[in-house]
Amino acid sequence: MTETIDDALLQADGIESGYGKVQVLWGAGLAVRPGESVVLLGANGAGKTTLLKVLVGLIPAWRGAVRLGGTDITALRTDRRVRLGLAYMSELGVFPGLTIEENLRIGGQFAERAVLRARIEELFAVFPDLAGRKRALAGALSGGQRKMLGIAKALAAGPKLLVMDEPSAGLSPLFVQQVISVLGRFRAGGVGGGAGLAMLIAEQNVAFLDLADRVYTLEGGRIRFEGTVAQLHADDALHRAYFGLA
């Protein structure tokens, strides 16, 4: 049973879901507070993508509930959830056949025109590599730049919570570090100001724990551990599972 957090921005409880007759999630739940960075750690096939898709409404929950800012969003369409402040970056993250600027406009499609224009300028200031190539096709970017564009595209929506599926996917270790460092700038009131962006990052790469205020581990569609990074290290079995014998 996942702990209910009173001041949670996002709270999911007892989620069961899957594909056709194949059940993947067995009562999984998690919570993210406003401005908090949470890492959902799990091996290949643990069900991370499936859980994120339920949270953002891309596949239905068979059982359980998802709440955003106290509102039950379990049955809401994805676009409604986006308007309420959820943004989702899938493993692919961008539309390769569109330009950088077009990708950002699609990311912010529900924002007012003037707000979006100002936001895109802010994002270009944070991502100068993208600013210099506004009219380049996203498909022409390197893997690392494409990931940066994926992050910028999700942020163009001005979300309260950025949900990311394996931002490290397909990246070399150097680019992984760059992505971590960019996300670190957005963490809790960094770039973009305001109350601070909350992040939920599904990963198998433990390097992302550098960003984590709290961690959940997912195994076989169930949450096995919930706590701080220090508590994860303190658990011998989990430490061995995720960090090896070192």
The verdict on 46 binding ligand ATP (CB under 6 A) reads yes
Separation CA 209–CA 37 (nearest Å): 10
Separation CA 27–CA 12 (nearest Å): 10
The verdict on 49 binding ligand ATP (CB under 6 A) reads yes
Nearer to ligand ATP, 53 or 105 (CB): 53
The verdict on 85 binding ligand ATP (CB under 6 A) reads no
Nearer to ligand ATP, 91 or 122 (CB): 91
Helix 143-155 and helix 100-107, axial crossing angle in degrees, nearest 10: 30
Query: For ligand ATP, what does the binding mask look like between residues 154 and 193, x meaning CB under 6 A?
Result: ----------------------------------------
DSSP string over 149-169? HHHHHHHTT--SEEEEE-TTT
How far is the CA of 192 from the CAs of 98, 113, 160, 176, 235, in angstroms?
Answer: 25, 18, 11, 22, 36
The verdict on 47 binding ligand ATP (CB under 6 A) reads yes
Q: Is residue 118 within a helix (H) or strand (E), and if so which, with residue range?
A: helix 113-126
Least distance in Å: CB of 108 to ligand ATP? 27
Nearer to ligand ATP, 84 or 206 (CB): 206
1, 6, 21, 44: which one binds ligand ATP (CB under 6 A): 44
Least distance in Å: CB of 131 to ligand ATP? 31
Least distance in Å: CB of 153 to ligand ATP? 20
> For residue 32, which of 77, 73, 2, 74 has the smallest C-alpha distance?
2
* CA dihedral over 222, 226, 231, 233, signed as positive or negative: positive
Separation CA 156–CA 186 (nearest Å): 13
The verdict on 48 binding ligand ATP (CB under 6 A) reads yes
- Residues in the site for ligand ATP, rule: CB under 6 A? 19, 22, 24, 42, 44-50, 204
